Amino acid sequence: MLTGEREICPCCTRPAEQEPLYVVNGYLITRCRTCGVGRSRGTGFDANTYYGEAYFKGGHNDGYFDYEKSEPVLRAELKRLARDLATVVPYGARLLEVGCAYGYRLD
């Protein structure tokens, strides 16, 4: 994607410039300049394979050592995040959680 290129954002559904942020594992991560939602587009990535048991049990260098045993730490971190979000997101606003793993954030 070229800088300045506009396309329809799948989240806000408006034509918007996609801001290149960085590359992770060969995939370009961009952010919609209108709504701020980040995303990656690419081919050849199989989320079902990548985010299997090994990802959550120490089998990936960019995954979790043991996601289930980390639950208390993750929940404490997510509570801090919720408090921080409450200071910048208007009361009653809606948030979309994507990639919630075991759902600790959703709880």
Length of the chain: 107
Q: pTM to 2 decimals?
A: 0.48
Please write the tens of the pLDDT for every residue from 24-77: 878 888 899 998 888 887 777 787 888 888 988 999 888 888 988 988 998 898
| CB-based contacts of 34-41 (< 8 A; 24+ apart in sequence) | 34/9, 35/9, 35/11, 37/9, 37/11, 37/12, 39/10, 39/11, 41/1
Rounded Cα gap, residues 16 and 54, in angstroms? 37
| pLDDT for 67 | 85
Determine the average pLDDT of the residues in 11-17. 87
Which segments of 1-107 are extended strands (E)?
Answer: 6-8, 15-24, 27-32, 38-40
| Mean pLDDT computed over every residue of the chain | 82
pLDDT of 94 > 60? The answer is yes
